[in-house]
């Protein structure tokens, strides 16, 4: 490989430098009509992006409230009503079952719902952007 | 000594080096080295993230804590898993779309501030070390427990294997190694637990919390390690041997802090609500700020696959965390002597032989869990080292002036020396507690930075730096006080021992207030940045 620009006698160097984060490279991407509409921040483009961000954030917050209510309230519940801790299901105290067993499928279920709905939000956004182009 | 242990450990180390060397054949350029050329499939990637995440604290520490303290500490595994849900909801896809490889990169992309970048570098290195030292120590302690060889050899062995593997193979190799180690760790806990539960059934289901207090399942000899008082009456001295017959009650030892009877079985033993919520905040929000977790997201091809990968990770990690609890509970029946010695972290290693007897089955399963423990040290420390080395490579060696593979190797060695040295000279730090503290620092520094940076246009570099310094700095001070300072007592001790409940809100408040006061510093291209973080890649924006 002839990588040294000086040695190459004026030809552009063949080697490309790897830049971590690729931030600069992505920002200089080639112009594209769709990109221009959004990235030049016309009021319409700006409103669309804000709408998407708001929808995704609202979804994330709603689901974290579900977790806060479902899991986060448990220590308080156990403190306020100690009798709950003494309830036995199949010979095991309820707090052990709730924390040791059921919390994990619960978290997974919430995550699954989030992925589904977040992807739907993105599809809606894509559809709005693409419609005028089609 | 168990004859299967040494072959088991040798196999794990050889397979790790072997997969690393196999990966090396593909690692030709710096980008292969660091980001695996993005050719890693989501299922491999998810197994690798899980393999990297499940450290000594998860593999050994959680079972040990459950054995000792009971139901209250189940918040550790729940929080360790729930951290991935918070990561999924608030960070995964936008972070991948930002193109940031490390946390300092994210500061650069989002806020364009070299100063903030440097501050983030300091925190990444601090959190990395805080997490790496106990891994190496855990390795040393396991080595001592199992082979009887000196502690330093275990820490050095793991340290050198990990450094060599990261320096030679880079991340491509690490991805396959980590994925292998997830499945190894899961198998190493899941297979023995089947036999343990069957044994417990055939023993007539001995009670976990007998009404008269825990009893010895077999006749046991306990060697006293330090002077203590048994049951508040009998004084014993270091070196003394105490013999107990099967069915004898396990005495309470003054020098060991543990929960007995109802305090173990029912919530709210001695953990206060403040400490519980502090732990919940630290673990739920800390995961997204751990340097070795974020690096992995760069190996996803796009934001949507980053989300799916995180979901698979949540499933894999949740599956794993079902197991340590069982070890802790069965340890109550079969290894109650650990409650006297206080070495509860060893329960996973000792339980198979204690429950199944010293026959071939017990020894073989004992070797299997030991191999799993080694995998836990190897994988987490490899991941941490890769990420700390990545930061040292870009931000301290300034590799953008022509980063070479040789520089990355140098960065790896530099990043390994300090924690390795510390782990040899500081040996009284408690593994699971230090890991919990690392979560608290991450939750009080990087969590607000990521969440506000991704979702709030108003964040400024000054606000972010102030928030990280206030919240992260406070958490860091609390950690240093806890680890190195004198033992604290009184009503403020909890605020230092479990700082997250006040440092996380502090970081958020200072970050928001600081940003509102410096509105003029909001980056002018914020619209474009938000677009890039949130718009799906299929638009090719």
**Residue B401 sits in which domain range?**
5-20+41-204+250-427
pLDDT at A28: 46
- Chain A residue closest in CA terms to B295: A21
B525 part of a folded domain: no
pLDDT per residue over B509-520, tens digit each? 999 999 999 888
- Max CA distance (Å), chain B: 75
For residue A59, what is the enclosing H or E element? Answer: helix A43-67
Shortest distance between the Cα of A11 and any Cα of chain B, in A, equals 19
pLDDT at A41: 60
CA separation, residue A62 to residues A114, B303, B509 (Å): 10, 21, 21
ipTM of this model? 0.86
pLDDT at A29: 46
Average pLDDT over residues A81-109: 87
In B468-525, alpha helices (H): 473-484, 493-497, 500-517
Least CB–CB distance from A111: residue in B77, B101, B311? B311
Average pLDDT over residues A80-99: 83
Residue A32 pLDDT more than 60? no
| Residue ranges in chain B whose pLDDT is less than 70 | 1, 20-40, 169-174, 269-271, 398-404, 425-432, 485, 488, 490-491, 540-541
**Interface touch A103/B535, C-beta < 8 Å:** no
**CB contact residues (below 8 A), chain A span 12-71, against chain B:** 17-23, 26-27, 32, 34-35, 38-39, 41, 45-46, 49-50, 52-53, 56-57, 60, 63-64, 67, 71
For residue B220, what is the enclosing H or E element? Answer: strand B220-223
B514 part of a folded domain: no
How high is the mean pLDDT of chain A?
Answer: 75
Domain total in chain B: 1
* Interatomic CA distance for residues B126 and B135, integer angstroms: 15
B293 part of a folded domain: yes
Shortest distance between the Cα of A22 and any Cα of chain B, in A, equals 6
The answer to whether residues B329 and A99 touch, using CB atoms and an 8 Å cutoff, is no
Question: For B472-483, b where at least 16 C-beta lie within 10 A, e where not — what string?
Answer: bbbbbebbeebb
A82 CB neighbour count, 10 Å cutoff: 12
B159 part of a folded domain: yes
B388 part of a folded domain: yes
* Interatomic CA distance for residues B288 and B483, integer angstroms: 23
Identify the DSSP state of A42.
-
Q: What is the CATH number of the domain that holds B263?
A: 1.20.1730.10
Residue A33: pLDDT band with limits 50, 70, 90: low
């Amino acid at each position: 490989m002839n990588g040294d620009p000086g040695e190459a006698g004026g030809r552009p160097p063949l080697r490309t430098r790897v830049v971590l984060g690729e931030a600069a490279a992505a920002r200089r991407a080639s112009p594209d009509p769709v990109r221009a509409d959004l990235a030049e921040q016309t009021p319409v483009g700006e409103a669309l992006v804000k709408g998407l961000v708001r929808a995704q954030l609202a979804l994330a917050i709603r689901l974290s409230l579900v977790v806060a209510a479902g899991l986060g309230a448990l220590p308080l519940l156990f403190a306020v009503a100690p009798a709950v801790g003494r309830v036995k299901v199949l010979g095991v105290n309820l707090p052990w079952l709730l924390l040791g067993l059921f919390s994990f499928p619960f978290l997974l279920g919430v995550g699954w719902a989030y992925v589904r709905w977040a992807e739907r939000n993105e599809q809606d956004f894509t559809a709005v952007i693409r419609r005028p182009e089609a | 000594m168990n004859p299967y242990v040494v072959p088991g450990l040798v196999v794990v180390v050889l397979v790790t080096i072997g997969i690393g060397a196999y990966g090396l054949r593909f690692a030709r350029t710096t980008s292969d080295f660091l980001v695996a050329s993005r050719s890693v499939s989501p299922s491999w990637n998810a197994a690798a993230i899980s393999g990297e995440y499940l450290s000594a604290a998860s593999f050994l520490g959680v079972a040990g804590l459950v054995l000792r303290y009971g139901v209250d500490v189940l918040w550790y595994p729940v929080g360790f898993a729930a951290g991935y849900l918070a990561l999924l909801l608030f960070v995964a896809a936008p972070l991948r779309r930002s193109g940031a490889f490390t946390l300092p990169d994210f500061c650069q992309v989002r806020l364009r501030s070299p100063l903030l970048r440097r501050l983030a570098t300091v925190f990444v290195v601090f959190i990395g070390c805080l997490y790496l030292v106990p891994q190496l120590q855990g390795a040393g302690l396991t080595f001592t427990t199992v082979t009887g060889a000196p502690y330093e050899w275990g820490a050095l062995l793991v340290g050198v294997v990990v450094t060599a593997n990261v320096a030679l193979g880079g991340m491509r190799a690490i991805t396959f190694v980590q994925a292998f180690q997830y499945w190894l760790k899961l198998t190493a806990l899941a297979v023995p637990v089947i036999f343990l539960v069957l044994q417990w059934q055939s023993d007539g289901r001995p009670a976990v919390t007998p009404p008269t207090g825990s009893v010895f399942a077999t006749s046991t000899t306990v060697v006293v390690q330090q002077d203590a008082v048994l049951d508040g009456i009998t004084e014993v001295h270091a070196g003394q041997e105490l013999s107990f017959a099967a069915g004898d009650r396990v005495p309470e030892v003054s020098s060991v802090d543990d929960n007995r009877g109802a305090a173990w079985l029912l919530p709210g033993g001695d953990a206060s609500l403040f400490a519980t919520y502090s732990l919940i905040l630290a673990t739920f929000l800390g995961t997204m700020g751990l340097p070795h977790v974020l690096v992995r997201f760069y190996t996803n091809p796009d934001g949507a696959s980053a989300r799916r990968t995180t979901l698979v990770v949540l499933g894999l990690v949740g599956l794993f965390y079902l197991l340590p609890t069982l070890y802790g509970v069965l340890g109550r029946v079969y290894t109650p002597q650990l409650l006297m010695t206080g070495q509860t972290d060893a329960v996973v290693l000792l339980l198979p032989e204690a429950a199944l007897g010293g026959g071939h089955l017990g020894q073989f399963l004992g070797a299997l869990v030991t191999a799993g423990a080694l995998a836990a040290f190897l994988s987490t420390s490899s991941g941490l080292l890769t990420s700390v080395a990545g930061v040292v490579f870009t931000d301290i060696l300034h590799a953008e002036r022509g980063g070479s593979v040789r520089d990355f190797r140098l960065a790896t060695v530099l990043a390994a020396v300090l924690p390795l040295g510390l782990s040899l000279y500081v040996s009284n730090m408690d593994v699971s507690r230090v890991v919990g503290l690392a979560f608290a620092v991450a939750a009080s520094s990087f969590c607000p930075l990521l969440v506000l940076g991704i979702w709030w246009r108003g964040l400024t570099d000054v606000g972010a730096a102030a928030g990280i310094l206030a919240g992260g700095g406070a958490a860091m001070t609390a950690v240093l006080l806890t680890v190195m300072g004198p033992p604290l007592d009184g009503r403020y001790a909890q605020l230092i021992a479990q700082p997250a409940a006040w440092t996380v809100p502090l970081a958020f408040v200072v970050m928001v207030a600081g940003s509102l006061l410096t509105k003029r510093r909001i980056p002018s291209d914020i619209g474009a940045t938000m677009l890039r973080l949130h718009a799906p890649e299929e638009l090719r924006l």
